[in-house]
């Protein structure tokens, strides 16, 4: 690197950007190195609604998620581009019981019968942050650069090639090759983007007979999903899956009937049995290596909580 820096972050998705900004907030000079820019990352494709999905361990996910909820709610109140607080309805066919994540969202109530679509007897109402990534990620990049941060678009072959006191590994699926972590697997997600017919509430059914179903309205469009295809590297759109997504999402929100389809999207989420967020004790030398990857479908949900822990590990004595 041509200029001396205090920390290098590998990866320009939401985890990498949040980690870099958290380090900057503690006065560190930071460079982000990534083979792909933020707008080409998996994060850019995400529906990006706060909700813990395919990530563990549960107790840490709850703590990271609660901190992230607070951070995103504060950003929404400040008018940060792309961040809104979204009324949400989670649907059930059986009594739902207590939800393990409920304490993080500041209140969950039972849905009234009039709030439920046909075929559903139970539901929960709550409010969560939603991030429109095509607006939010560029804002994060601009904020990082305004703080003196630098971005380098290049492939990293080894963490050892990075000359900095602190290296933060936010490489996602790339960790399989970069650090030999074969426990990281893709979780394929297919979604459909439609023109928003005037929806203002997110609706989800995690146990729909046809598969997971969620409808997340944004400003001009709505994201309909979706799939959690563990171990699939196939990034091609499957037309049959798209048709099934549209069908079950219309079960949840009948107002979607006739909504114009704008785009079909596939992304590969980086998952592992548990999120890896730790100081690497085996690196040796003068460089402190911190790993922060394997967030599954919870990238936005855990982003700022994990980033704060990264910053704490970077400065711990």
**Is residue 273 a contact partner of residue 253, using CB atoms and an 8 Å limit?**
no
Indicate the pLDDT class of residue 4, thresholds 50, 70 and 90.
confident
Mean of the pLDDT values across residues 240-254?
97
Which element (helix H / strand E) includes 192? strand 185-195
Q: Is residue 44 part of a domain?
A: yes
**Is residue 15 a contact partner of residue 293, using CB atoms and an 8 Å limit?**
yes
Dihedral class, residue 79 (left if φ above 0, else alpha if ψ from -120 to 50, else beta) = left
pLDDT of residue 282: 75
Q: Is residue 1 part of a domain?
A: no
Q: Is residue 2 part of a domain?
A: no
pLDDT of residue 281: 81
Q: pLDDT tens across 145-172, in order? A: 999 999 999 999 999 999 999 999 999 9
Q: What is the pLDDT of the chain when averaged over all its residues?
A: 96
Tokens of 24: 């900057």
pLDDT of residue 303: 98
Q: Is residue 275 part of a domain?
A: yes
Indicate the pLDDT class of residue 46, thresholds 50, 70 and 90.
very high
CATH of the domain at 170: 3.30.9.10
CA distance 312 to 317: 10
pLDDT of residue 10: 98
Number of folded domains that form the chain: 1
pLDDT of residue 316: 84
Mean of the pLDDT values across residues 236-259?
97
Indicate the pLDDT class of residue 187, thresholds 50, 70 and 90.
very high
Mean of the pLDDT values across residues 43-48?
94
Residue 266, SS3 per DSSP: strand
Q: Structural domain of residue 246, as residue ranges? A: 7-315
Residue 51, SS3 per DSSP: coil
The answer to whether the bond into 271 is cis (omega within 30° of 0) is no
Long-range pairs for 151-154 at CB < 8 Å and ≥24 separation? 151/12, 151/31, 151/32, 151/33, 151/34, 151/37, 152/1, 152/31, 152/32, 152/33, 152/34, 153/34, 153/35, 153/36, 153/37, 154/33, 154/34, 154/35
**Is residue 50 a contact partner of residue 298, using CB atoms and an 8 Å limit?**
no
Q: pLDDT tens across 268-309, in order? A: 999 999 999 999 987 656 799 999 999 999 999 999 999 999
Q: Is residue 96 part of a domain?
A: yes
Q: Which residues pair with 168 in a beta bridge?
A: 9, 290
CA dihedral 310, 105, 249, 131 (to 10 degrees): -50
In terms of Cβ atoms closer than 10 Å to its own Cβ (0-12, 13-18, 19+), residue 99 is middle
């Amino acid at each position: 690197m041509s200029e001396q820096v205090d920390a290098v972050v590998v990866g320009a998705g939401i985890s990498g950007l949040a980690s870099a900004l958290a380090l900057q907030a503690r006065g560190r000079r930071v460079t982000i190195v990534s083979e792909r820019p933020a707008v080409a990352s998996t994060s850019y494709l995400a529906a990006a609604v706060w909700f813990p999905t395919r990530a563990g361990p549960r107790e840490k996910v709850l703590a990271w998620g609660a901190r992230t909820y607070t951070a995103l709610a504060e950003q929404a109140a400040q008018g940060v581009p792309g961040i809104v607080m979204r009324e949400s309805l989670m649907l059930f066919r059986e009594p739902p019981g207590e939800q393990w994540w409920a304490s993080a969202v500041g209140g969950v109530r039972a849905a009234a019968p009039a709030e439920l679509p046909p075929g559903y007897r139970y539901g929960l109402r709550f409010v969560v942050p939603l991030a429109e990534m095509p607006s939010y990620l560029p804002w994060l990049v601009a904020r990082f650069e305004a703080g003196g941060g630098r971005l380098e678009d290049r492939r990293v072959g080894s963490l050892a090639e990075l000359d900095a006191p602190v290296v933060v590994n936010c490489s996602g699926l790339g960790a399989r090759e970069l650090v030999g972590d074969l426990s990281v697997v893709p979780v394929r997600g297919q979604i459909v983007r439609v023109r928003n017919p005037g929806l203002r509430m997110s609706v989800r059914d995690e146990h729909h007979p046809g598969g997971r179903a969620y409808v997340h309205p944004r400003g001009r469009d709505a994201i309909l999903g979706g799939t959690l295809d563990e171990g699939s590297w196939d990034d091609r759109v499957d037309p049959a899956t798209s048709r099934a997504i549209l069908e079950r999402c219309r079960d949840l929100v009948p107002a979607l009937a006739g909504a114009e389809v704008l785009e079909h999207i596939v992304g590969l989420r980086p998952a592992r049995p548990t999120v890896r967020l730790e100081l690497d004790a085996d690196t040796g030398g003068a460089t402190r290596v911190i790993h922060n990857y394997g967030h599954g479908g919870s990238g936005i949900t855990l982003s700022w909580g994990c980033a704060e822990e990264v910053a704490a590990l970077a400065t711990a004595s």
